A and B are shown apart, each in its own frame.
Chain A
Amino acid sequence: MKHDLSLLLGILIALLAATLLWVLHATLSLDPGPRLADFALARLDESGVSNPVTAVLLNYRAYDTWLELAVLLAALLGIWSLGPAPTGYQPSGPALAAMVDWIVPLAILTGGYMLWVGGHAPGGAFQAGALLGAAGVIMRLAGEPSAGLPGETAQRWLVVLGAGVFALVGGVLLVAGDGFLHYPPGQAKWLILLMESAATIAIGVTLAAAYVGGRPRRDASRR
């Protein structure tokens, strides 16, 4: 009975996939209208960075990136509301400890490099934040239960930093400039760098805290 049901579902989904394939073929054979890519690539020089993906993420669609950081924050709040963090793994043996000694500083350094190079080459805030989060995950796997993160108050400030700096810059530009997140022409590069740095730290801390998986346990001394 269960096997028959899964077979029936398989056939129905295969039909759905065939329909979607036909739709894709029909869409691709149509004549495309004006594409957004042309607009995006045409004014790339004024956007402050020369990597088109970074320009789209942090200049043309900075509002969407701000909301994405808010989604990360919301997911972390959901995880934190469910209970304290599970206890970590046992302290690592010497081989894993030696590897962690090498890899974690390299990951942090590479994250910083990714943040800077995202302006003109593949990279950017999300990749750099992912490397920082990976450093935290490695530390937790090697036996450090807090994944290298600071205490709970500091973590709260750091995870709010991403969406907060975006909102702050947008608010200042709303009051004193052209509008919410409309960068003034000469200063786009520095504003983007500022917002990317804040986003990197926030993403790294959020991903590592999501891997820890619960509220940070208080120490006995910090009651």
Chain B
Amino acid sequence: MLLFLFDVVLLTTLVALAFAAVLSPEPRRAVIMFIAFGLWLSLVWARLRAPDIALAEAAIGAGLGGALMLAAARRAARRSEASAADGEGSA
């Protein structure tokens, strides 16, 4: 029973992190939520007796994938700020 409750809490947090990553308004915050989602997914897989995959997901999926996307999100945020400033300047 207690284990079932633990499972439900794990999965609820997982789905909530996925929603947060998808619904957040700016790209940088979305990427950070995605990194958290990846790490939490690794934790869930460790509970499901898949430690090899948990290691790989934490390192490659969340770590490297998140690092790759963070640079792109920073550039995207800077471009949208620049275009907003241009729009106001020329208006």
Contacts and interface: CB of A to CB of B under 8 A. Distances in A.
Whether chain B is bound by chain A comes out as: yes
Interface string B48-78: 0001110110011001100110010000000
Contacts of A122: 51-52, 55
Interface of A: 51, 53-54, 114, 118, 122-124, 126-127, 130-131, 133-134, 137, 141, 207, 210-211, 213
A210 B71 CA distance: 13
A124 B52 contact: yes
Of B51, B63, B64, B71, the most chain A CB neighbours within 10 A belong to: B64
Contact of A131 (B53, B59, B67): B59
Contacts, number: 41
Contacts of B63: 130, 134, 137
24 contacts: A53-B53, A54-B52, A118-B52, A122-B51, A123-B55, A126-B56, A126-B60, A127-B52, A127-B56, A127-B59, A130-B63, A131-B59, A133-B60, A133-B64, A134-B63, A134-B64, A137-B63, A137-B64, A137-B67, A207-B60, A207-B64, A210-B68, A211-B67, A213-B71
B11 to A, nearest CB: 14
Nearest to B67: A137
A22 B80 CA distance: 42
Contacts of B71: 213
Given A130-B59, A131-B59, A134-B59, A211 B52 contact: no
Given A122-B55, A123-B52, A124-B52, A211 B60 contact: no
Interface range on chain B: under 10, 10 to 19, 20 to 34, or 35 or more? 10 to 19
Q: Tell me the interface secondary structure of chain A in the complex.
A: helix
Contacts of A141: 67
A133 B67 CA distance: 12
Contacts of A134: 59, 63-64
Contacts of A127: 52, 55-56, 59
A85 to B, nearest CB: 12
Nearest to B61: A130
Contacts of A114: 55
B60 A130 contact: yes
A154 to B, nearest CB: 22
A124 B52 CA distance: 8
Nearest to B54: A122
Given A114-B55, A123-B55, A130-B64, 15 more contacts: A51-B52, A53-B53, A118-B52, A122-B51, A122-B52, A124-B52, A127-B56, A130-B55, A133-B60, A137-B63, A137-B64, A137-B67, A141-B67, A210-B68, A211-B68
B64 A211 contact: yes
Contacts of B67: 137, 141, 211
